[in-house]
Structure 1
Amino acid sequence: MKTVFFVLLVISIKGCETNTVFVCGSQLGKRYHLTDQCRGLSNCNYHIIPITLDSAIQQHKTLCKWER
């Protein structure tokens, strides 16, 4: 049972790596957002850019606190 759970967990984590997330185009942005309508993006004075979750993580961005 534990093996099945672990395999399903790995598959779902791998599936998340290709999901699109949104970041503010500012060089100072530290967060990624699950939707482009997130409250955390309301202060973005630059373009909102869709990127992959994997790319956001590689850029050391973390999930917006409004979406936790």
Structure 2
Amino acid sequence: MPVRLRKFIGTILLIILVLGYALLATTIAVNALGASPWWVHLTYFLLTGLLWVLPAMGLIKWMAGPRQR
């Protein structure tokens, strides 16, 4: 697959990932953390704020293509 096409597809997928992840994380927070103390909110948003990086990192590595020697 050409690098330009791979980067285009990866960019679209990355945008979908970020929007979908933000919507899912916010929906879970609203439904599950309504009456929780502040430290539970802080922990949840700290973890979910960092967790999206893992699939994004894999996607970015895929976009870069195989290593050239």
Higher-Rg member (1/2)? 2
TM-score by length of 1: 0.40
* More helix by percentage: 2
Q: Structure with the greater relative contact order (CA < 8 A, sep ≥ 6): 1 or 2?
A: 2
Alignment TM-score, normalising by the size of structure 2:
0.40
